Structure 1
Amino acid sequence: MLVNLVPSASAAIDFATASLARPRPEKKPAPVAPDVIDPVARTQISLEYASLQYKDHCPLGMYVVPSPETLMVWDAVFFVHQGYYADAIFKFRLTFPNNYPEAPPVVQFMTDVVFHPLISHTGIFNLAPRFRPWRPKEHRVFDVLHWIKTAFKKHALDEIKESDCLNKEAYRYHESTSSFAGLASQSSLLSQSAPALFDRDHPSMKGKPRDAMPFRELPPEQLQLQRKKIGLQECAEDKEHP
């Protein structure tokens, strides 16, 4: 659900085209073809996507759209506002199983690489600390989205157990917060880089669902026009480097 979007100084989201922002070398969960989607799952997923319009259902700074190929895949982008990962722009994908809501969606970060205890080197995000077990009559997608956002906050990082970590190196946060802060900040900076935001049409994505939320870099004159339309003022750095 698209709310409160403020583009960065050099980027905009292009919803008219589709490609994958950051390819992953490993095989992703295969999307289910539309003609074999269970009717119950299709109805439930449709209702839950529609519910994201309600207040507080979609977390602030997070934007979600279904894949052009199938309702069983949602693409999302998360703008981190504060904390260790402040100013990060993380893209992730939710892939729903055909028996949803009996089983949870798979969450995989597409931004390469997110340094976080709950995110593996292939981008898989561990839902277990929040959903142990997953309760189909109680848990919903908006709960998953809120857990993803919460997992990047200090109080959640403090409570993560080593047994839940998919990235053991990142768990060393508990030993040295200063080192962790530096690596998290580096992850944030990399997520804002042009290769992370604008890498498109990679051969490894052949046959995979298109990214429903691609970024495209705007020429300076178009960027200035868009900034004016949404009321953003020109900063001092922009004036020094036109």
Structure 2
Amino acid sequence: MASKVTSSTSADVSKYTGRATSRSTGNTAATMAADMISPVTRTAVSLEYASLRHTLHCPLGMYVVPSVENLLVWDAVFFIHQGADYSFLEPFFHVLTSQSKGYYADAILKFRLTFPSNYPERPPMVQFVTDVFHPLVSSQNGTFNMAPRFRPWRYALTITSQASSYIAIRPKEHHVFDVLHYIKAAFKKHALDGISESDCLNKEAFRYHNSTSSFAALATQSSLLSQSASALFDRDHPSMAGKVTDGITFREMSASDLQEGRSKLGLKEWSEESS
């Protein structure tokens, strides 16, 4: 699935009003009224979001939208599509189908980015709303540990000039699109292989290194649960992040509505595509 972001060419926060599909309310200490956000942080976050329109900045399969109530809170969903099916090789090379397709193949994971009030000096916090069994994701509150990739978080100095009434921000070394790409990479085998126990927020998931089959079973289970009707459509579905009103919502479509939508997009019926 191609990536899609709701974007604007302007850094003005007012341009983002009403972009989310529903009103989103943050449940973290970083939530604040828009007029309390410093000009430096407001501009930095707005430019980060606007930059996602550039090619390959937003990873394929990810959709990102800022909260209509708070620019410092972004809601996102990640559709995981990993690899081809190499199950036909199992009799010859003993390849695990779950491993060749990816442990989290077809998972639909919602997560939230919350920017600190002094961004870009400190990185955004990533918190998964969808329950997922992963070494870097806390089973208590869904917090995602970015330290393996951003240790430390590097940024350039921010220069402000009150006399000239403008804010100039020099390019930073780390950006939000780097965070998004790391989130995507963290669900792939090569990233899982490199995770150290000290970085694991879910110690049980570290069994990946000594009991791959057990890890694969639990990771696959979390992937299947993320695709369930209750996880996708039930707004009261239990979440690791607590009760969250997400800015990205799904609506179950009837067969006729789905057919009409696919027709408008010029898509063939699935039966025709698979034949």
Question: Which category describes the TM-score, using the shorter chain as reference length?
Answer: 0.7 to 0.9
Contact 2:66–2:247 (CA under 8 A) maintained in structure 1:
yes
Q: Which residue of 2 aligns with 1:103?
A: 122
What is the Cα-based RMSD across aligned positions, in Å? 2.5
Equivalenced residues, count:
218
Seen in structure 2, the aligned counterparts of structure 1 residues 214 and 68 have a Cα distance that, compared at 3 Å, is same
CA distance in 1, matches of 2:238, 2:150: 35
Contact map agreement 1:59 1:145 (CA 8 A) in 2? yes
Write the mapping of 1:120-131 to structure 2, written as runs, cut at 5 A: 120-121=138-139, 122-131=141-150
Report matched runs for 1:215-226 at 5 Å: 215-226=250-261
Report what 1:89 is aligned to.
108
Equivalent residue runs for 1:6-155 within 5 Å:
17-18=21-22, 28-82=28-82, 83-111=102-130, 113-121=131-139, 122-137=141-156, 138-155=173-190
TM-score (norm 1): 0.83
Contact 2:30 2:115 in 1 (8 A): no
Give, in angstroms, the shift of residue 165 of structure 1: 0.2
Instruction: Report if the CA contact (8 A) 1:67-1:209 is conserved.
Output: no
Q: What does the per-residue CA deviation read over 1:16-60, in whole Å, with 9 as the maximum and x for residues that have no partner?
A: 74267xxxxxx6444121010011000001111111111111111
Write the letter of the residue equivalent to 1:90. L
**How far 1:141 moved relative to its partner?**
0.5
1:109-160: per-residue Cα shift (whole Å, max 9, x none)? 011x100000001110001000111112211101100110010000000000
State the 1:213 CA deviation: 1.2
Alignment CA distance shift 1:102-1:34 (3 Å): same
Contact kept, 8 Å, 2:3 with 2:63, in 1: the verdict is no
Which residue in the other structure is 2:235 paired with?
200
Query: Residues 179, 231 of structure 1: CA spacing in aligned structure 2 closer, same or farther, 3 A cutoff?
Result: farther
Distance 1:190 1:202 in 2: 11
Contact 2:23 2:68 in 1 (8 A): no
Question: CA separation in 2, counterparts of 1:73 and 1:100?
Answer: 12
The one-letter amino acid paired with 1:160 is: I
- Seen in structure 2, the aligned counterparts of structure 1 residues 93 and 70 have a Cα distance that, compared at 3 Å, is same
* Structure 1, unpaired ranges of 5+: 6-14, 21-26, 237-242
| DSSP 3-state at the match of 1:216 | coil
Per the alignment, in what secondary structure is the counterpart of residue 99 of structure 1?
coil
2:211 aligns with 176
SS at match of 1:190: helix
* Counterpart position of 1:214: 249
Q: Give the TM-score normalised by structure 2.
A: 0.73
Cα drift, residue 233 of structure 1: 3.3
Alpha-carbon spacing, 1:19–1:224, altered in 2? closer, same or farther (3 Å): farther
Percent identity among equivalent residues? 69
Displacement after TM superposition at 1:230 (Å): 2.5
What residue identity is the alignment partner of 2:71? Answer: L
- The higher relative CO (CA closer than 8 Å, separation ≥ 6) is in 1
